[in-house]
Chain A
Amino acid sequence: MTAQNTQWDRGGRRLGRAMIALPALILALLIFGPLIYSIVLSLYKWQLTDINSGKPFVGFANYVHLFTDPQVLNAVGNTLIYVVGSVGTELILGFVIASALFEMTKGRKLANSLILLPMIIAPVITALIWRYMLDPQFGLVAQVLSVFGFKGGISFFGTSQLALPSLILVDVWQWTPFVILILHAGMLGISEEQFEAARIDGAGRWRILRSIVLPGIAPQILLVLLFRTMDTYRIFDTVFVLTRGGPGTSTETIGLYTYQTGFSFFDMGYAMTLGVFILITVAIISSFYIRLLRRREVFQ
Chain B
Amino acid sequence: MFATQHGGRRTVLTVAALSISALLLTSCSSSGGTTTGANPDAKPKTADGPYGKFPGEKLTLSRWAGDPWTAGQQTAATAWNASTGGNLTLAPVPYENLHDKQALTLSSGSDYDIVYVHPSWFGEFAKAGYLAPIDKYLSDPKRNPPGFSAASYQESVLKQGNYDGTQYCLPDFVSTIVVGYRTDLFQAAGLSAPKTVDDIIADAKALNGKDGASGIVMPGKATGAVSDVFSSLLTAQDNWWYDASGTKSTLDTTAATNALNFYTSAAKYAPTGLLNMAVDDAATVAAQGKAAIVVDTTPSLSALEDTSKSKTVGKWAYVPLAFTADKPGGELIYWNWCISAKSKNKDAAYSFLQFYTDTAQQAKVALAASTLGATKSFYTDKAVTSKLPFLPAVNAALSNSNPQPSLATWPKIQTAIEVAVQDAIQGKKTTAQAVAAMQDALKGLTG
Segment at the A interface, from B20-28, B177-185, B190-198, B271-279: B271-279
Chain B residues, CB < 8 A from A47: 408, 447
Contact in complex: A51, B223 (CB < 8 Å): no
- In the assembly, what is the distance between CA of A116 and CA of B215, in Å? 44
Contact in complex: A51, B408 (CB < 8 Å): no
Chain B residues, CB < 8 A from A155: 272-276
- Chain B min CB distance to A133 (Å): 13
Residue in B96, B272, B422 whose CB lies within 8 Å of A246: B422
- In the assembly, what is the distance between CA of A245 and CA of B103, in Å? 33
Residue in B100, B273, B428, B447 whose CB lies within 8 Å of A160: B428
- Interface status of A165 (Cβ within 8 A of chain B): no
Chain A residues, CB < 8 A from B100: 51
* Interface residue SS majority, chain B: helix
- In the complex, how many residue pairs between chain A and chain B have their CB atoms under 8 Å apart? 83
Interface size class of B (residues with CB under 8 A): 20 to 34
Closest residue on chain B to residue A139 by CB atoms: B273
Number of interface residues of A (CB under 8 A): 33
Closest residue on chain B to residue A161 by CB atoms: B426
- In the assembly, what is the distance between CA of A247 and CA of B419, in Å? 7
Chain B residues, CB < 8 A from A267: 412
- Interface status of B348 (Cβ within 8 A of chain A): no
* Interface residue SS majority, chain A: loop
Chain A residues, CB < 8 A from B426: 159-160, 247-248
Contact in complex: A243, B276 (CB < 8 Å): yes
- In the assembly, what is the distance between CA of A49 and CA of B121, in Å? 9
- Per-residue B-contact encoding for A150-190, CB less than 8 Å = 1, 0 else: 00111111111001000000000000000000000000000
- Chain A min CB distance to B428 (Å): 6
Contact in complex: B408, A136 (CB < 8 Å): no
- Interface status of B63 (Cβ within 8 A of chain A): no
- In the assembly, what is the distance between CA of A155 and CA of B273, in Å? 5
Chain A residues, CB < 8 A from B124: 52
Enumerate A100-158 residues with CB–CB distance to B below 8 Å: 135-138, 152-158
Contact in complex: A244, B221 (CB < 8 Å): yes
Contact in complex: B273, A153 (CB < 8 Å): yes
- Chain B min CB distance to A52 (Å): 8
- Interface status of A89 (Cβ within 8 A of chain B): no
Closest residue on chain A to residue B100 by CB atoms: A51
- Interface status of A2 (Cβ within 8 A of chain B): no
| Known interface pairs A244-B222, A246-B221, A246-B222; A153-B422 also in contact (CB < 8 Å) | no
Enumerate B396-447 residues with CB–CB distance to A below 8 Å: 408, 411-412, 415, 419, 422-423, 425-426, 428, 447
Contact in complex: B422, A137 (CB < 8 Å): no
| Known interface pairs A49-B408, A160-B428; A245-B222 also in contact (CB < 8 Å) | yes
- Interface status of A264 (Cβ within 8 A of chain B): yes
- Interface status of A286 (Cβ within 8 A of chain B): no
Contact in complex: B408, A137 (CB < 8 Å): no
Contact in complex: A248, B423 (CB < 8 Å): yes
A–B complex contacts, Cβ < 8 Å, 13 sampled: A49-B120, A50-B447, A51-B100, A136-B271, A153-B271, A155-B272, A155-B275, A156-B273, A157-B276, A244-B223, A246-B276, A266-B408, A266-B411
Other contacts beyond A136-B271, A155-B274, A158-B274: 19, CB < 8 A = A47-B408, A50-B408, A137-B272, A137-B288, A138-B284, A138-B288, A153-B272, A155-B275, A158-B220, A159-B275, A246-B221, A246-B222, A246-B419, A247-B220, A247-B275, A247-B276, A248-B419, A248-B428, A260-B415
